[in-house]
Amino acid sequence: MYRTVTCGELRLADAGKIVTLAGWVQRIRKMGGMTFIDLRDRYGITQLAFNQGTEAFEKANGLGREFVLQVVGQVIERQAKNPQLPTGEIEIDVKQLTILNPAVTPPFTIEDETDGGDDLRMKYRYLDLRRQCVRKNLELRHKMAFEVRRYLDEQGFLEVETPVLVNSTPEGARDFVVPSRMNPGLFYALPQSPQTLKQLLMVSGFDRYFQIVKCFRDEDLRADRQPEFTQIDCEMSFVEQEDILNMFEGMSRHLFKTILNIDLPKLPRMTWADAMKYYGSDKPDTRFDMTFVELHDIFHAAEANKAEEERFSVFANAAYIGGICAKGCATYTRKQLDALTEFVKRPQIGAKGMVYARVEENGNVKSSVDKFYSQDVLQQIAAEMKAESGDLILILSGDDAMKTRKQLSELRLEMGKQLGLRDPKKFSCLWVIDFPMYEWSDEENRLMAMHHPFTSPKPEDIPLLDTDPASVRANAYDMVINGVEVGGGSIRIHDAQLQEKIFEILGFTKEEAQTKFGFLMNAFKYGAPPHGGLAYGLDRFVSLFAGLDSIRDCIAFPKNNQGRDVMLGAPGVLDPIQLDELMLDIRKK
Amino acid sequence: MYRTVTCGELRLADAGKIVTLAGWVQRIRKMGGMTFIDLRDRYGITQLAFNQGTEAFEKANGLGREFVLQVVGQVIERQAKNPQLPTGEIEIDVKQLTILNPAVTPPFTIEDETDGGDDLRMKYRYLDLRRQCVRKNLELRHKMAFEVRRYLDEQGFLEVETPVLVNSTPEGARDFVVPSRMNPGLFYALPQSPQTLKQLLMVSGFDRYFQIVKCFRDEDLRADRQPEFTQIDCEMSFVEQEDILNMFEGMSRHLFKTILNIDLPKLPRMTWADAMKYYGSDKPDTRFDMTFVELHDIFHAAEANKAEEERFSVFANAAYIGGICAKGCATYTRKQLDALTEFVKRPQIGAKGMVYARVEENGNVKSSVDKFYSQDVLQQIAAEMKAESGDLILILSGDDAMKTRKQLSELRLEMGKQLGLRDPKKFSCLWVIDFPMYEWSDEENRLMAMHHPFTSPKPEDIPLLDTDPASVRANAYDMVINGVEVGGGSIRIHDAQLQEKIFEILGFTKEEAQTKFGFLMNAFKYGAPPHGGLAYGLDRFVSLFAGLDSIRDCIAFPKNNQGRDVMLGAPGVLDPIQLDELMLDIRKK
């Protein structure tokens, strides 16, 4: 060992000891007859003191940032203590200094507040990772993964490694593929998730399976997506939805307690229908209320009594009118309100406009549609919305209720942000349940599985499969924290006849179903237990716990939006010999 | 939950309880007025009893093997107890039987001793995994991985996930590659190991890193090789070889204790030179002695006194003559000895022949080369080999000492096997240390790095780099258990000048070194700490603990020798649309 202690452990009680330390030069301060160096390692920072006239002093003055040192010295009490630092009461009177490795000047400062831009930091990610604020995210990730394993192990789950070189999955996103040299012309696929394999493990009787596992999706990358990401993948046999919700609520409780020392209350459950109705989102941020109030009936009643030419055609023709109440925001200026209107009109959100109404001190409601509606109607609106003096009402409307709700959801989140209601240190968790089985795809002109085709319908909704499939609810559930879907899953179908019916509704012929899913269906013939499960996105889960906006910051070596690792230079050019061995040619543009 | 108890937990103390069980039909026995079913789940087997005249009895008689059942019944004491079974004192008097899923007859019996051949079991791996003997290997794997994590976490190691989509590595085996759709014509590589990335993490100051991680090698598959395999990958900073040996000896001790309840003694250390000299192998099976004795000097002295025509030319011209002593094997028949001769002459081993000598009851030595050597010489041999009455001496010779030793090693292992000295339940662990830095490659006509080019030489051997590089020993080490290399690693070079010199000896120009390794070398410029590490093969480690011959049996979904997963049908044909998106063409043969 090059050290007897780390840079994070010495305290005043250690004064007098002779110690050996090793680490990196964080900072050098020359003050007349003394030179001070902050020596850094993963565990902390310790101040080194060098006295003029010593050999070590001369050497110390020749050092630069990020040099790697080994020092031997005596622990002494500091004159000027630093209460910010756990080691701030002591320093090392250095007797002997060895330069283990010199360092050229790094391209950016290794500090929490660095001068390095994103691209530069990604190129030198190994230096970026030296910054304490970055490293602590990865320490958190380690701890969370470890506690997940500890909890699941205690609950009798077995971690089973499933293969990375698998076959292409039907009905998913785009696969990454791997050409097989031993089987020229054939390709492996990298798994988008071990869904099929974990279901097979249930058929095998593994009973309780989990895996913290890399998954891969070749999608066009949006912000906060990575081509490779990590799932906490779980499956259980002989269970119903209630069992799974309890088991994984327990896991979350364990994580909140052991990692953040937060006692998680019993998770509320919200149906998907309510989530859409009150938050316009299947992953509502419940750190703050500001829930939607539907105003369609009041406005339509008001319109009904009017002459054609007096009507506010926007509302009169709207399929959906909904509002949110921003407490205490009646003081918003015209400029602020115009900015909100611009916000909802951005193409990513797509609203046509926004109506607002302030409840004034005297109780009067002053709105942007005063010329269309009487104070009486506006008072009805305020009452419906429980808006009080000083509150601001924001209203969106549209032809498509679902789309308008999503727009209103964005507005709600923006208001939550502006009002400081989305504190990353505060956590609000819930289950969203009773997802619909299907969603209509305009593109494919058919019903699509909202989760995946193995998701089971609610038993009481099974009769609806014949009459009104779009209204059938699934035994599917998501865990949502602070507006982020951290996990989700479903109870699977284990009945062959029911599965056939589901395929039929999804528009597959028997032959197509066999071709696409025959592999799993065949396995099910040999005795499949009732089973279900879920998967958490570890990257998201960690970034939530870390209070980060992006998953990238809790990944050691992330890829950029072009799917490139600029540090490694991946992807790169292949040696022509490899292409020959793989029997592949690259097409010319 | 479909059950209140599992099939493994009921005992006599539970008699009288009403319970619900779920599981698979292992066996059905109809005995007049009673039908008995063994119900199986992951946790055990419970006997169900059905009485004639009940509805459940009628249903039970219609069941087949591997049906999935749920039963409600009362725990009762068994008439005929089964002491082999933890639940063997009770059975369930079934009141109610629900068929959760029927099963078609499986293609082989789900028993420890199955009638299914390898290919069939691989095709239906999900049924093979139902067999207790297979599943328990995966339970062991889970436990070992978990205990590895627990130990390393306690020692302050952080598990950091490194990417799977990386760049091609220089100087390794063949990479699997992944075409990038977003960067047409460019390819990612799958990592052969996270070697470079873990060294970068040391540059980042992570201090103690580990990862249980999938690695990939596109090699022509020999027995016991898989294209994807799992490593316990570790690296530490500010350490010397001694620190690493102690840390990971501790890990092995922890595993042996927690998993097998074996107290591992302090691991002996053997130099590579001694391992080759006494065992002819860098991974000696030390469960038994039978070490090599070099006989060159005695035979050559004997030859020296003879006339040319009386000489035994095989020995007279041999560069190496070595023997092993098989205790008590003087009774080996001529047929057995001929079989041993055939064994060493097989092309995989390649010896020209074998000389043997029996020490008879009266102390006389009777050999296959009696006509060339006097009893006096043979007595010298017996004495040198510490052979006693009743022992058998087996001798190989050859022009190339290293090759002959390897042949003698195979013979030693075969004798160990024949004598039952290689009990898979007995463990003999050691460190093999002081590996040579280089080995000569006839193919490349240059020195090659035995470990990898970042391995550091022993400080005391550094002067030899200039004069006799082939004799330089490395700070490299392997952990060997029962003749299997379960792990290995080295202290890395952190000194830029020394690294340059090593590249020079390996025959790289400065430019080549920069092209191949510049990426890591550049990172080192920013302050690399002294560091080192090692990696264990988890598959091997588990199969050793399980007493298995092949790693395949401790992998949930292994690939066959053609790299195929016959269950998944991977690799498979790619959709032409995918090839278009990837801008790739498959060459016609």
Secondary structure of A77-126 in the HEC alphabet? ECCCCCCCCCCCCEEEEEEEEEEEECCCCCCCCCCCCCCCCHHHHHHCHH
Instruction: Return the number of other C-beta atoms located less than 10 Å from residue A29's C-beta.
Output: 10
The DSSP call for residue A136 is H
Query: What would the mean pLDDT of A534-548 be, rounded to a whole number?
Result: 97
* Interface contact flag, B167 A587, Cβ < 8 Å: no
* Interface contact flag, A165 B176, Cβ < 8 Å: yes
Cα–Cα distance measured from residue B469 to residue A300, given in angstroms and rounded to the nearest whole number:
92
Query: What would the mean pLDDT of A8-36 be, rounded to a whole number?
Result: 96
Q: Which residues in chain A are closer than 8 Å to B576, comparing Cβ atoms?
A: none
A215 touches chain B (CB under 8 A): no
| Least confident piece of the model among A119-133, A213-227, A255-269, B31-45 | A213-227
- Residues sharing a CB contact under 8 Å with residue A335, sequence separation 6 or more, in sequence order: none
B219 touches chain A (CB under 8 A): no
Judged on CB neighbours under 10 Å (0-12, 13-18, 19+), B347 is exposed
Contact by Cβ (8 Å): B131, B108: no
Taking the domains of chain A in order of start, what are their residue ranges?
12-101, 135-273+429-554, 288-418
* Interface contact flag, B527 A67, Cβ < 8 Å: yes
Considering only residues A221 and B116, tell me which one the structure prediction assigns the higher pLDDT. B116
Cα-Cα-Cα-Cα torsion B91, B96, B98, B104, nearest 10 degrees, comes to 50
- Residues sharing a CB contact under 8 Å with residue A398, sequence separation 6 or more, in sequence order: A318, A319, A320, A351, A352, A404, A407
Closest chain A residue by Cα to residue B236: A1
Contact by Cβ (8 Å): A488, A494: no
**pLDDT tier, B170 (very low <50, low <70, confident <90, very high otherwise):** low
**pLDDT tier, A171 (very low <50, low <70, confident <90, very high otherwise):** low
* Interface contact flag, A582 B177, Cβ < 8 Å: yes
Indicate the helix (H) or strand (E) that contains A355. strand A355-359
Query: In 3D, which of B80, B74, B66, B67 has the Cα closest to residue B48?
Result: B74
Cα–Cα distance measured from residue A204 to residue A199, given in angstroms and rounded to the nearest whole number:
9
Tokens of B440: 């000569």
* CA distance to A169, A220, B81, B185, B584, per residue, from B181 (Å): 18, 9, 64, 8, 10
Query: What would the mean pLDDT of B261-284 be, rounded to a whole number?
Result: 97
Cα–Cα distance measured from residue B286 to residue B421, given in angstroms and rounded to the nearest whole number:
10
A491-A494-A495 Cα angle (round to 5): 130
- Residues sharing a CB contact under 8 Å with residue B301, sequence separation 6 or more, in sequence order: none
A90-94, A578-582, B570-574 — most confident range = A90-94
* Phi (first) and psi of residue A95, to 5 degrees: -100, -30
* CA distance to B195, B359, B477, B539, per residue, from B232 (Å): 12, 48, 16, 10
Cα–Cα distance measured from residue A502 to residue A508, given in angstroms and rounded to the nearest whole number:
9
Contact by Cβ (8 Å): A46, A39: yes
Position B363 scores a pLDDT of 95
Position B171 scores a pLDDT of 63
Q: Which residue in A152, A165, A514 has the most chain B C-beta atoms within 10 A of its own C-beta, making it the best mutation to test that interface?
A: A165
Cα–Cα distance measured from residue B393 to residue B327, given in angstroms and rounded to the nearest whole number:
9
Contact by Cβ (8 Å): A471, A436: yes
Q: Which residues in chain B are closer than 8 Å to A200, comparing Cβ atoms?
A: 125-126
Closest approach of B272 to chain A, Cα-based (Å): 24
Helix, strand or coil, per DSSP, at residue B200: helix
Cis peptide bond upstream of A86, omega within 30: no
pLDDT in tens, A439-497: 888 888 888 888 888 999 999 999 999 999 999 999 999 999 999 999 999 999 998 88
Position B390 scores a pLDDT of 97
B399 touches chain A (CB under 8 A): no
Closest approach of B276 to chain A, Cα-based (Å): 30
A495 touches chain B (CB under 8 A): yes
| Least confident piece of the model among A358-362, A520-524, B12-16, B45-49 | A520-524
B248-B254-B258 Cα angle (round to 5): 155
Query: What would the mean pLDDT of A434-438 be, rounded to a whole number?
Result: 95
| Least confident piece of the model among A567-571, B464-468, B504-508 | B504-508
Cα–Cα distance measured from residue B517 to residue A196, given in angstroms and rounded to the nearest whole number:
40
- Residues sharing a CB contact under 8 Å with residue A163, sequence separation 6 or more, in sequence order: A191, A197, B228, B556, B557, B559, B565, B568
Q: What percent of chain A has pLDDT over 90?
A: 87
Cα–Cα distance measured from residue A204 to residue B498, given in angstroms and rounded to the nearest whole number:
54
Cα–Cα distance measured from residue A210 to residue A156, given in angstroms and rounded to the nearest whole number:
10
B101 touches chain A (CB under 8 A): yes
A142 touches chain B (CB under 8 A): yes
Position A10 scores a pLDDT of 98
| Least confident piece of the model among B47-51, B172-176, B473-477 | B172-176
pLDDT in tens, B303-336: 887 888 889 999 999 999 999 999 999 999 999 9
Cα–Cα distance measured from residue A196 to residue A211, given in angstroms and rounded to the nearest whole number:
13
| A135-273+429-554 is classed CATH 3.30.930.10 | yes
Contact by Cβ (8 Å): B161, A551: no
Q: Which residues in chain B are closer than 8 Å to A24, comparing Cβ atoms?
A: 205, 527, 529
Which of residues 168 through 197 in chain A touch B, CB cutoff 8 A?
168, 174-190, 197
Inter-chain Cβ pairs, chain A and chain B, closer than 8 A: 352
The answer on pLDDT for A202 being more than 70 is yes
Position A269 scores a pLDDT of 98
Helix axis angle for B510-524 and B496-505, nearest 10°, is 150
Position B444 scores a pLDDT of 80
Q: Identify residue A190 by its one-letter amino acid code.
A: L
Q: What is the 3-state secondary structure (H, E, C) of A547-563?
A: CCCCHHHHCCCCCCCCC
Closest approach of B583 to chain A, Cα-based (Å): 5
Position B441 scores a pLDDT of 83
* Interface contact flag, A139 B158, Cβ < 8 Å: yes
Helix axis angle for A401-418 and A334-345, nearest 10°, is 140
Query: What would the mean pLDDT of B139-146 be, rounded to a whole number?
Result: 98
Position A47 scores a pLDDT of 98
From A2, A177, A206, residue closest to B574, measured CB to CB: A177
Provide the CA A59 distance to its chain's centre, in angstroms: 48
Q: Which residues in chain A are closer than 8 Å to B67, comparing Cβ atoms?
A: 527
The answer on pLDDT for A407 being more than 80 is yes
From B100, B557, B578, residue closest to A177, measured CB to CB: B578
Alpha carbons within 13 angstroms on the beta-carbon side of residue A493 total 24
B171-B175-B179 Cα angle (round to 5): 130
Beta strands in A258-306 (DSSP E): 269-271, 293-294
From A163, A190, A203, residue closest to B557, measured CB to CB: A163
Specify the CATH class of B12-101 in words.
Answer: mainly beta
Position A321 scores a pLDDT of 97
- Average pLDDT in chain A: 95
Q: Which residues in chain B are closer than 8 Å to A495, comparing Cβ atoms?
A: 101
Cα–Cα distance measured from residue B49 to residue B75, given in angstroms and rounded to the nearest whole number:
10
Cα–Cα distance measured from residue A541 to residue A478, given in angstroms and rounded to the nearest whole number:
13
* Interface contact flag, A178 B563, Cβ < 8 Å: no
Taking the domain B288-418, which CATH number applies? Answer: 3.30.1360.30
Closest approach of B14 to chain A, Cα-based (Å): 22
Relative to beta strand B34-41, strand B18-31 is antiparallel
A497 touches chain B (CB under 8 A): no
A442 touches chain B (CB under 8 A): no
Cα–Cα distance measured from residue A107 to residue B525, given in angstroms and rounded to the nearest whole number:
12
- Average pLDDT in chain B: 95
Tokens of A134: 């970055």
A108 touches chain B (CB under 8 A): no
Query: Facing residues of B565 across strands?
Result: B570
Tokens of A150: 């500890």
Long-range contacts, A52-61 (Cβ 8 Å, 24+): A54/A94, A54/A95, A55/A97, A56/A94, A56/A95, A56/A96, A56/A97, A59/A97, A59/A99, A60/A28, A60/A35, A60/A94, A60/A97, A61/A30, A61/A35
Q: What is the largest CA-CA distance in chain B?
A: 97
Query: Facing residues of A397 across strands?
Result: A321
